[in-house]
Structure 1
Amino acid sequence: MKIKAAVVRKPGAPFRIEEVEIAKPKETEVLVRMIACGVCHTDAVARDQEMPVPLPAVLGHEGSGIVEEVGSRVRDIKPGDHVVLTVYSCGRCEACMTGHPSQCEWAFPTSFLGAYEDGTKRLSKDGVELSTFFAQASFATYAIADERNAIKIDKDVDLSLMGPLGCGIQTGAGTVMNKLKPEPGSAVVVFGCGAVGLSAIMAAKIMGADPIIGVDAVDSRLELAKELGAHIVFNGKKEKDLVTSIQEVTGGGADCSLDTTGVETLVNQALFCLKPLGTCAIVASSGDREFKIPLQNAIMGVGKTLMGVVEGDAIPKLFIPKLVKLYKQGAFPLDKLVQFYDFEEINQAFEDSKSGKTIKPILRF
């Protein structure tokens, strides 16, 4: 079947919308007519080859759409279902079987090496195969995903809003709710108030954290952080001694912190602003950068924990419907983060995301 897809052919090159061919879904797969797809920093990392996905490729990994066809062994999804596409997991490895599918041994290869678990691809043009992304490649009018990374959601919500639940929003909210797990009254600091950080702030509010502190260099984002649940905000560029300021307002240090930036200075601030035995989670895709962290003073000598978290350590089939329920209840207003773009405006959406003009761009097909 012929579809339209945004293709990247050279490192850092603009996306070009082309007519390509999509194969039929295999036994455990579903064909999804895409309604929308979020734009995520990880897509830019792949486009620019900081994460060397084989080119040419069709990126996109925060898709939402309607199932049109299912493979012969698909049991839980049927045509007409509304789905959010997320990271693939095999269901068989130790990480999957212990409730950590984000650490599946197949999550990295199917996300970044351009093919599905069986080593094959589903997209081509003029006989030349195109790499896929996150086992979905959802910058396209149609996508193929496995039953395991197509998450069925309620039909009474705006499907075009839901795609970012598959990655960025799941990452921020899940890191707070599944890993940091602040107790009511705990002090939480979020470094970076983009889509991931603001999702973390909304989750911290749901968990009863107090105070919730947002840190960013853009005042408009800090204002939105306050609207979504932050009690205190700091502009990191304007604050003379951010760590001391956080320690003062928390009475000695925060219980936990979350860094969405992957910037060495901010990671160190996220560690030093904690009280002894505090926990810092890093969720940024930072490639192979090397950080200098004073181990004795920042971690070991004060019993602190520094951990990486992927996809909020969530079980998507459970967590994404939970976030949809919270959205319907008004407790998780993710619609305040987004701005919609036509598919043909994909390059503008990436520019607006990079400049900070738009927190979470969503492409509509």
Structure 2
Amino acid sequence: MPGASVAPGMFVEGSDTIGVEPTPDALRVMTASDNIPASSSIADAVFAQGKLSIGITLPITGEDQGVVDFGEQIALAQLADRLGFRALWVRDVPLNSIDYPDPVGHLDPWVLLGALASNTERIALISGAIVLTLRHPLHVAKGAISVDALSRGRFILGVGSGDRPQEYAAFGRDAEERRDLYKRHWQTLAAAVSLPSRVIPDALPEGAPEFYLLPRPHASIPMLAVGSGGQSVDWIARHSLGWMTYHREPQAQRGRYSMWRAAVDRAAFGAFRAFGVAMRLDLVEDADAPATDISLGYRTGRRGLATVLRDMRESGTHHVTLNIASERRPARDIIEEIAAHVLPEFHR
């Protein structure tokens, strides 16, 4: 989602300090889609206790690449689907400017998600993340229900708040109100994509009809917090299936997970709530090249990547989406190498 200085293709988390909020309430219960085996929902396929799954963020671009061949992106998505990656992540970047370091011309997320739904079969589709504060929640709900129907229950709705004040101004929003706006929009959105689906109007003048959304959702669409949205971890633990954050060095990430786990115990004791990470990856041809730090991720060979992922799994991470750097090697080669040599250990 939109943010400050980051590498192309990376998630950005809100910059607010994330505190705790001690008052618990009930978390919405997800149900499995009719198109998915009864024992498992699409969220279960991506996030599972004690396991780590691997996804890919689209589009995959080279350094300073502003023009994307979206036909090639669909082909890469189909390849990832065939080879067993668990999720495809799509970002929401409403506007570009010279102050924003990502030069990529992203498609509208609903357009790209619709194309992915029509051209893949098994892989989960995740928005990472719809900027909930800059879109009306009923429009977001309509898009989410549509993608879920097109993909036959493979959609997870990741939402964030954005963090560029100038972009808020362009949409006539006050960036200082984003915390409250995020909460209000989440409530309206959750009501619309849960079962039974309910439309909460902004205003209801006398004589107004009762509204509903068509197509009607066949199951509750899982909602995932990407970044903090200015909320406490306790709020996120109560309202979201999990928390998606960006890469940090291992010690800091372990501390982040410990904070998350404590919040889950306070808000929903004994329940499973997922923890995921977006990580940049520059995979080199030398399989034995050790992992070295780059901005928001690692440069490494495939064995070093497997070691990094094992450590992340042991420290509590349930899903990693890879922001693949393709300056050195074709993205197809990187995807095929990971599928052949890394996925078998994690996707049994």
Q: Provide the TM-score with structure 1 as the length reference.
A: 0.27
* Structure of greater relative contact order (alpha carbons < 8 Å, 6+ residues apart): 2
Q: Provide the TM-score with structure 2 as the length reference.
A: 0.28
**Higher Cα radius of gyration:** 1
